[in-house]
Amino acid sequence: MEQPVLKVESLTKIFTRKGRPDMKAVDHISFELMPGECLGLIGESGSGKTTAVNMITRLLDPTEGRILLDGDDITGISGRELRKVYAKMQMVFQTPAESFDPRRTLGDGIGESLRNNGWGRARTKMEVAELLERCGLSADFASRYPHQVSGGQCQRAAIARALAIKPKLLICDEATSALDVTIQKEIIALLNDLRWKLGGNLSILFICHDIALVQQFCDRVLVMYRGKIVEQGRPDDVIRNPQNDYTKRLIESIL
Amino acid sequence: MSEATVRIQKIRKDTVKTRLILFGTLAFLLLIGSVFSEHLTPCDPYLQDLTNAKAAPSAAHIFGTDRYGRDMLSRVIVGSRASIYSTLLLVAVITVVGTGIGVFCGWHGKWIDTVLMRISDMFLAFPGLVFALAVAGVLGGGLQNAIIALAAISWPKYARIARSQTLSQKETPYLKAARLSGSGTWKIIFKHILPNIMGPILVTSMLDIGTMMMELAGLSFLGLGAKPPIAEWGSMMSDTRSLITTVPWVTFAPGLAIFVSVMIFNLLGDTIRDYADPKNRGR
């Protein structure tokens, strides 16, 4: 049997604060992501999607549970080992403009992971130009600053940055929700195109609160509510035959 | 936006730029003057001429002479070396040290952050100059010790600013992206955090130059800074304060020098703050 790219086992995050009851942001979630698969993760604001993703990318330490990337346990690692892991896993953020350093060019940002992995300046520059073109931008965007480009262009650059190191897992944390509808469609088309070109080499974890978008784009969907996974299955099945109250309300609110 | 507001904004931007050029040039001239002060003096600042002591301002001695007959103008010029040099050194030291500690605390967090910030609270709790007096008193006189004393009480301000800025930078998506790009801690601090937090810190240090110059002169005036016969504005005023009723020019000259240079650096700091203010940027 094929090995999952990402396997999450009873991942939990409890935020503790003095004088307040403990907050279970993510409550024992488990799921697997197979190579080439696109998994949607939906849920309302505050349902723990972003917390879960931050734990998977190890930007946040989990309270409990294990994260396996490509079969390796990455839950407890740090420093140099963790940096190596980031060559397999990349993320596209919700706010395109803020995901680039305002004082550095887009090209610097896109090439950063390559430079960190020992690429030379000239080779990185060429690769950045190619990446930009693959994401539908001209090569001269490399010398622009984040405030000089539009949200959609910035998100394309962010996708280029995420793909630079050729990761196996791409996490899109509400990558389209800050964009207007037409641009959203373009970005989805771009992601679809990249998926088709890269085939089994790229798995996507697609976090979203728009169930229609998930239906279009994902092979499988997880529904999160109050830190728990309440429902999962093929998007069409979930939409036609929702089992959970929250899922029902979510679908009704759109129809 | 109406045409009038646009025009007002443009005028304001222009005046800020003019002020920046003006005060920048003046501050630069002061600096150059202090670097080459030994070559700019009309007379030897340390040459005593008792027959000509306490002479009133004249063509030969524009600011008059002090009780040993030394030319006041030359002494004020040479004194700029001690005053301006040590002020800039002091501000540079507290900026670098304070920022370093602040960024470290903000980035590292946990117990080290708590410990260092409580220590900085302790320093902030004392009235500044009183504490500096105590430190300088314990260390003994001398310009170097005065600088150490003032540095010891001034770094917490910078540490506070740097820490809070680092904390807010730490949560931005681009820093997360930088971590995901596999950049190590040092690279993130030097390439991403520092360039993004330097603005407010530099403005604070520019505004501090004037204050620090005055506090250094104050310590010298109280006998805890530069030791005679070294010409330093604060100690020059202190030396001659008993003569103020009979030969006022001897205190007037260093006083004027302090006033003018503190003014120039304060106005420069103000202007840089205005210039750095995004509201003044035409975009």
Q: What is the mean pLDDT of each run of 10 residues along chain A (255 residues)?
A: 81 82 85 86 84 87 86 83 86 86 85 84 86 84 85 86 86 82 83 80 85 84 86 83 82 73
Q: Cis omega (within 30 of 0) on the bond before B127?
A: no
Residue of B nearest to A99 (CA): B174
Architecture of domain B32-49+60-280: Orthogonal Bundle (1.10)
Q: Which residues of B touch A (CB under 8 A)?
A: 172-174, 176-184, 187, 191-192, 195-196
- Domain membership flag for residue A210: yes
Same domain, A181 and A219: yes
Inter-chain contact A89–B179, Cβ cutoff 8 Å? Answer: no
Nearest to A98 among B173, B191, B195 (CB): B173
Same domain, A64 and A179: yes
Give the CA radius of gyration of chain A.
Answer: 18
- The pLDDT score that the predictor gives to residue B97 is 92
In sign, the C-alpha dihedral spanning A97, A102, A107, A112 is negative
Nearest to A103 among B178, B180, B196 (CB): B196
Best residue of A86, A99, A131 to probe chain B, by most B CBs closer than 10 Å: A99
Inter-chain contact B177–A100, Cβ cutoff 8 Å? Answer: yes
Same domain, A31 and A62: yes
pLDDT (average), residues B165-185: 85
Q: Between vectors from CA A248 to CA A243 and to CA A254, what angle results, nearest 5°?
A: 145
Which structural domain range is residue A244 located in? Answer: 6-88+169-254
In 3D space, the residue among B283, B264, B280 whose CA is nearest the CA of residue B17 turns out to be B280
Q: Please, are residues A225 and A24 in contact by the beta-carbon 8 Å criterion?
A: no
Q: Between vectors from CA A103 to CA A101 and to CA A108, what angle results, nearest 5°?
A: 65
Q: Are strands A220-225 and A228-233 parallel, antiparallel or unpaired?
A: antiparallel
Last residue of a domain, one of A138, A166, A194: A166
Q: With a threshold of 0.90, tell me whether the complex ipTM lies above it.
A: no
Inter-chain contact B177–A95, Cβ cutoff 8 Å? Answer: no
CA distance linking residue B172 with residue A205, whole number of Å? 21
Quick one: DSSP state of residue A37?
A: -
Token duo for residue B114: 């708590």
Inter-chain contact B180–A101, Cβ cutoff 8 Å? Answer: no
The burial class, CB within 10 Å (0-12 / 13-18 / 19+), for B91 is buried
In the predicted model, is pLDDT for residue B282 greater than 50? no
Write out chain B in H/E/C secondary structure: CCHHHHHHHHHHHHHHHHHHHHHHHHHHHHHHHHHCHHHHCCCCCCCCCHHHCCCCCCCCCCCCECCCCCEHHHHHHHHHHHHHHHHHHHHHHHHHHHHHHHHHHHHHCHHHHHHHHHHHHHHHHCCHHHHHHHHHHHHCCCHHHHHHHHHHHHHHHHHHHHHHHHHHHHCCHHHHHHHHCCCCHHHHHHHHHHHHHHHHHHHHHHHHHHHHHHHHHHHHHCCCCCCCCCCCHHHHHHHHHHHCCCCCHHHHHHHHHHHHHHHHHHHHHHHHHHHHCHHHCCC
Same domain, A128 and A71: no
Enumerate the domain spans of chain B.
32-49+60-280
Q: Chain A closest CA to B14's CA: distance in Å?
A: 24
In the predicted model, is pLDDT for residue B283 greater than 50? no
Same domain, A183 and A233: yes
Q: Between vectors from CA B195 to CA B193 and to CA B196, what angle results, nearest 5°?
A: 65
In the predicted model, is pLDDT for residue B141 greater than 80? no
Stretch (H or E) spanning A172 = strand A169-173
CA distance linking residue A42 with residue A253, whole number of Å? 14
Q: Which residues, 6+ apart, have CB-to-CB distance to A126 below 8 Å?
A: none
Same domain, A63 and A182: yes
- Domain membership flag for residue A187: yes
Q: Read off the pLDDT of residues A2-49 as tens digits, 9 standing for 90 and up.
A: 788 888 888 888 888 777 788 888 888 888 888 888 888 888 888 888
Token duo for residue B121: 């609270």
Q: Chain B closest CA to A50's CA: distance in Å?
A: 12
- The pLDDT score that the predictor gives to residue B2 is 65
In 3D space, the residue among A97, A86, A39, A31 whose CA is nearest the CA of residue A58 turns out to be A86
Q: Read off the pLDDT of residues B34-82 as tens digits, 9 standing for 90 and up.
A: 888 777 777 777 777 777 777 777 777 777 777 777 877 888 888 888 8
- At A39, is the secondary structure helix, strand, or coil? strand
Same domain, A174 and A48: yes
- Domain membership flag for residue A61: yes
- Domain membership flag for residue A190: yes
**In Å, how far are A2, A94, A159, B26 from A166, measured between CA atoms?**
20, 21, 11, 55
Q: Chain A closest CA to B11's CA: distance in Å?
A: 25
Give the CA radius of gyration of chain B.
Answer: 23
- Domain membership flag for residue A65: yes
Same domain, A151 and A188: no
Neighboring chain A residues of B183 at a CB cutoff of 8 Å: 83, 112, 116
Stretch (H or E) spanning A223 = strand A220-225
pLDDT (average), residues B244-261: 84
Q: Chain B closest CA to A112's CA: distance in Å?
A: 6
